[in-house]
Structure 1
Amino acid sequence: MLREPFVDEKFEPDLMWFIGGFNVYDREETRGVELGVYDPDNKADRESLIRGYCLNLDCLSYRHKFVLVEFLAEKLSDSNFDFQTLFEIDEGIASSWPREEWYGLESPRQFFQDVYELAQEVWREDLLLACAEDQTLW
């Protein structure tokens, strides 16, 4: 069974792995400033964000990456899945996005579609390695 990277529990794929690095709560003066120059609705900026932050997950093994990409593909194939809910933050939660645009992206689905497409490129070798294995043995 595939285990979580930091705790000894079963790994459950979650799309927050892709966008959690954009949380700037209590880091507004550092990470917030760093990310504040990007517009997530701008395609070129979005690609830079995805390459630099969404797919820069060194703590994950090639198997974790494979499972996350498969999970994302499943969500993208569901036309009713609401990607905007991933960007909504309750007031009682200690989280915040770097810019106001993050709270209401023009197309959160397109953001994740771009994550999927770039993951196929950036993680290509990892995904091929995992695909060649029998996932039932993980």
Structure 2
Amino acid sequence: MLKDPFLNEPFDPSLKWFIGVFDVYDREQELGARLQRYNPNDKNDREFLIKNYALDLPYLTYRHKYLLLKKLKEHLTEENYDFQNLFEISDDETSSWPRSEWYNLESPRDFLAAVYLVAQNTWKDDLQKASLEDPSTW
């Protein structure tokens, strides 16, 4: 069974892996200041954010990446999947986004669809390698 890279438990391919990297709570001075320059609703900024942050997950193996993209693809094909819910932060959570646009993205689905498209290219070798294996043996 594929394990979470940080916990001794089964890996959960939650889409939060793609957006959690933008949580700047307690990191406002460093990460927050860097991310403040980019608008996630702007196509060019979004691509930069995805390539340099959302997909920069060196602690994930090729198998983790494969399962994450598989889960993302499944949710993108669901017509009524609530992508906005992924970006919502309740008052009792210790999380925050770098800009107000993150709290009400114009289209959270489009943001994650862009993640999927960019990941297909960025993670191409890892995805190919994992596709040659039987996931039930992980």
**TM class by smaller structure:** over 0.9
Tell me what 1:132 maps to: 132
Percent identity between matched residues is 53
Aligned partners of 1:27 and 1:134: how far apart in 2?
Answer: 39
Tell me what 2:73 maps to: 73
Task: Say whether 1:83 aligns with 2:72.
Answer: no
Shift of 1:6: 1.2
Aligned length: 138
- Superposition map of 1:40-55 within 5 A: 40-55=40-55
Shift of 1:117: 0.3
- Superposition map of 1:1-138 within 5 A: 1-138=1-138
TM-score, reference length from structure 2: 0.99
CA deviations 1:17-37 (Å, max 9, x no partner) are 001010001111111110000
> Which aligned segments of 4 or more residues in structure 1 are displaced greater than 2 angstroms?
none
TM-score, reference length from structure 1: 0.99
Structure 1: stretches of 5+ with no match in the other structure: none
Aligned partners of 2:52 and 2:4: how far apart in 1?
Answer: 22
Structure 2: stretches of 5+ with no match in the other structure: none
Aligned-pair RMSD on alpha carbons?
A: 0.5
Shift of 1:8: 1.2
Aligned partners of 1:6 and 1:89: how far apart in 2?
Answer: 23
